[in-house]
Amino acid sequence: MSIRYLIIAAAGVLATISSARADVVDTAQFQGSYTAVNSISGPYAPTINDDGGAFLSSPFSGTLTQGQQVTTTFLQVAPIAGGSNVGTIAGSVDIAMALKDTSGAAVTGLTYSSGGNTAFLSKGDIYFAANYELFYGNQTDCLVWNAASCTPTGNTTTVGEMLTATFADNTVLDIYLYNWSDWDMAPSIGFELVSGPTVTVPEPASFAMFGVGLVGLGLMVARRGRGGKHTGLPLLA
């Protein structure tokens, strides 16, 4: 191999070493907490269970794999019995959720699906809300996360809104909010990792040693050539 190609090869190896590889991993760990507040007041206002049991605990944590949605019962909205003469009560269920990624960083960006209720970020926390109506006359109620009318239709698995949260390490997370209708409701929430964090992966040390060896060999051959002891091809210009 000529000295020219030898040194070029060594330089290429060292260039690869000096710029560590950036990989996107397909898993990410999350931790978070949330609170749910009912805007309806009065003796017949529904109660909300937003922590533990069959529902998403607060705080919560877990590992998500890219492309695999994890769905769980979010909270419970339970009407107060005995209000058959009350009629219809309307309001909202307001959620404040704190989320942190693998590095412990909070959400840095948020979008919500077209037609959904407004969602926004404040100091890294996500705020969103569902429309809620309670029909005491026929013992049913409904909760929707989008602008559609709140009509009691029985249990449903329709996604009312999707939130997309981004983090400083390029992690992207979709949050699915499911509409629900039934007396004593327990709507669902889903989490899906769209893309994992970008991490820096150093190249193996053996490649670095190989690159240094090539450079050293090239310099040695070049030095011998200058001393008249080498009769090979001309040196690199």
Which two tokens mark 175? Answer: 């949050």
**pTM for this predicted structure:** 0.74
Query: Rounded CA gap, 177 and 162, in Å?
Result: 6
User: Which of helix, strand or coil describes residue 87?
Assistant: coil
If one counts every other C-beta atom within 10 angstroms of the C-beta of residue 223, the result is 12
Residue 31, pLDDT score: 94
Residue 109, pLDDT score: 97
Q: Are 119 and 110 in contact (CB under 8 A)?
A: yes
Residue 86, pLDDT score: 80
Sequence letter at residue 54: A
Residue 234, pLDDT score: 29
Each residue's pLDDT tens digit in the chain (237 positions)? 555 544 444 455 445 444 555 455 788 999 999 999 999 888 888 889 887 777 898 899 999 999 899 999 998 888 887 766 788 888 999 999 999 988 889 999 999 998 899 999 999 999 999 999 888 877 888 899 987 667 766 556 689 999 999 999 889 999 999 998 888 888 899 999 998 886 655 555 544 444 544 445 454 545 555 554 433 322 223
- H or E stretch at 38: strand 27-38
Strands (E), 119-186: 120-122, 125-135, 140-144, 159-166, 172-178, 180-181
Residue 156, pLDDT score: 64
Residue 118, pLDDT score: 94
